[in-house]
Structure 1
Amino acid sequence: MFDHVKFGVTDYSASKAFFLKALEPLGVAVVSEGSPTYGVEMSSNGKASLCLYQSDEKPAHLHLAFTAENRRQVEAFYRAALEAGGKDNGAPGLRPHYHANYYAAFVIGPDGHNIEAVCHTAEA
């Protein structure tokens, strides 16, 4: 849906470590990196990317939802994100108020952002 999303973080090394660990189950890895003020680009497919950079300003709250290929990836994301220091904001499960197969998990990242992994397909 997007080419890239770039936003500032108040603790570059903590946020980079958090996102890399939390998104590893989704196949996300570093594509390129410069100085902290330039930032890091991460992607799972080389098409859409997430970019973080060091900022002295506290960013506004943000909701990022990442596509998971299956429900196991949603669960692995949730565990990895909590291990990386994220705070629970909704354990893995169906969210039928969105649609019948909306299976997602939510965590709060280092800067207070709501980070989600979601699978839209029925369980195999």
Structure 2
Amino acid sequence: MFDHVKFGVTDFQASRDFFVAALEPLGARIVSEGAPDQGVEILVGGNESLCFYQTEEKPAHLHIAFSAGTRQEVDAFYRAALRAGGRDNGAPGLRPRYHRNYYAAFVIAPDGHNIEAVCHKPAE
């Protein structure tokens, strides 16, 4: 669990569009937004937020995993992320090397960050 994650992006609008669309199936919503150099805060859980801002620096690649309540939410995240311009980095499915109920999908965001949605619950 995290309180917030903040990072720079090289194309604020592309990243904003991507994260808003990709995380909508997980219940995420914008809670504050300023000019691109000030950034946006997207609430992605109870009190957890994702924050990013425009920068000229090329940030190092990140891996961010978001909790999904169901496997269907993982599937919806994956479809939404691809429609929003993400690139496939692992279709929805079980990842038993982590544990038997680790159901996840991975996409590459506009700046090359590896974004994951994961559900740890057994199939319904």
Is this a same-fold pair by TM over 0.5?
yes
1:64 offset after TM fit, Å? 0.5
- Percent sequence identity over aligned pairs: 70
1:25 offset after TM fit, Å? 0.2
1:12 offset after TM fit, Å? 0.2
* Aligned counterpart, 1:67: 67
* Aligned counterpart, 2:92: 92
Structure 1 residue runs of 5 or longer lacking an equivalent are none
Which 4+ stretches in 1 moved above 2 angstroms? none
1:34 offset after TM fit, Å? 1.0
Q: Report the TM-score, using the length of structure 1 for normalisation.
A: 0.98
SS in 2 for 1:24: helix
RMSD value over aligned CA atoms? 0.7
Which residue identity does 1:18 align to in structure 2?
F
* 1:21-100 matched pairs, under 5 angstroms: 21-100=21-100
Say how many residue pairs are matched: 124
Deviation string 1:7-32 (CA, Å, 9 cap, x unpaired) is 00000000000000000000001000
Query: What is the alpha-carbon distance in structure 2 between the residues aligned to residue 121 and residue 6 of structure 1?
Result: 28
Contact 2:88 2:108 in 1 (8 A): yes
Query: What is the alpha-carbon distance in structure 2 between the residues aligned to residue 61 and residue 9 of structure 1?
Result: 10
Structure 2 residue runs of 5 or longer lacking an equivalent are none
SS in 1 for 2:79: helix
Contact 2:44 2:50 in 1 (8 A): no
1:86 offset after TM fit, Å? 0.3
